[in-house]
Amino acid sequence: MVSREDVLHIARLARLSLSEEEVERYQKHLGRVLEYVGELRALPQESDALVRHVPRDAVAFRGDSILPFSNTRGSLDNAPALESDGFLLPTVVEHE
């Protein structure tokens, strides 16, 4: 069972504003899905559970060389608000 509080807590963590109707719908749908996936709990504990989805011959590394991106302008032009090429936001108070 997923409570209304659960839905609101998760929505806040995920930064999703929800309408009242959505809260109700997600409470129902999330409950359904979580109930369904509960079937996994019955399966025995697996010791070697490390999934390696990456091919064995993949190359993890790149060399430490500088290669500037050719279209920084293109990236900046997608910004919803830009001020002197900085991404502009309402004043941020807290700090990470």
Partner 1 sequence: MTTFRKAGVQDLLEGYQRKEFKPSEVVSGTMAAITQLNPELNALLETRSEEVSARAKDLDARMGEASKLPLFGVPIAIKDNILVRGWKTTAGSKALQNYVSPYTGTCVERMEAAGAIVIGKANCDEFAMGSSNENSAYGPVKNPWDSTRVTGGSSGGSAAAVAAGLVPGALGTDTGGSIRQPASLCGVVGLKPTYGRVSRYGVIAFASSLDQVGPFGRSVWDTARLLEVISGYDAKDATSSRGVVPRYTEALALPSADSLRNINIGIAPEWMEGLDPEVKKSFDAAIETAKGLGAKIVEVKLPHAKYALSVYYLIAASEASSNLARYDGVHYGTRSKKWDSLEELYSRSRGETLGREVKLRIMLGTYALSAGYYDAFYGKANQVRRLIQRDFDEAFSKCHCVAAPTSPTTAFRLGEKMEDPLTMYLSDIFTLPVNLAGLPGLSVPSGVDSKKLPIGLQLIGRLFDESSLLQVAHAYEKARGPLSHPPWKGDR
Partner 2 sequence: MSDIFDKYEPVIGLEVHAQLLTKSKMFCSCAHAFGAEINTQICPVCSGQPGSLPVINQEAVNLGVRAALALECEIHEESIFARKNYFYPDLPKGYQISQFERPFCTKGKVEAILKSGESKWIGVTRIHFEEDAGKSVHAQGGTMVNLNRAGVPLIEIVSEPDMRNSQEAGQYLRALHSILRFAQICDGNMEQGNFRCDANISVRPRGQEKFGTKIELKNINSFRFVEKAIDYEIARQIECIERGEKLVQETRSWNSAKNMTEVMRAKEQAHDYRYFPEPDLPTLVISSSWIEEIRSEMPELPSAKRQRFISQYALNAYDAGVLTGSKEVAGFYEEAVAKTGNSKATANWVANELLGRLNAAGKDIGDSPVSVDHLAELIAAVEGGKISGKIGKTVFEEMFETGKSPSAIIKEKGLVQISDPAALETAIKKVIAANPSQVADYKGGKDKLLAFFVGQVMKETKGQANPALLNTLVKKVLDSLP
- List contacts with partner 2 (CB under 8 A): 13, 15, 52-54, 58, 60-69, 72, 75-76, 83-92, 94-96
Cα gap 2→34, rounded to integer Å: 8
With CB under 5 to 8 Å by kind, the binding choice for 33 among partner 2, partner 1, none is partner 1
Cα gap 30→2, rounded to integer Å: 7
Closer to partner 2 at the Cβ: 40 or 58?
Answer: 58
Residue 96: C-alpha distances to residues 3, 14, 15, 85, 93 (Å): 30, 17, 17, 22, 10
Query: Taking Cα atoms as reference points, which of 44, 45, 16 lies closest to residue 30?
Result: 16
Interface residue list for partner 1 (CB under 8 A):
2, 6-7, 10-18, 22, 25-26, 29-30, 32-34, 36-37, 39-41, 43, 45-46, 48-51, 53-55, 57-62, 69, 71, 74-75, 77-81, 87, 89-90, 92-94
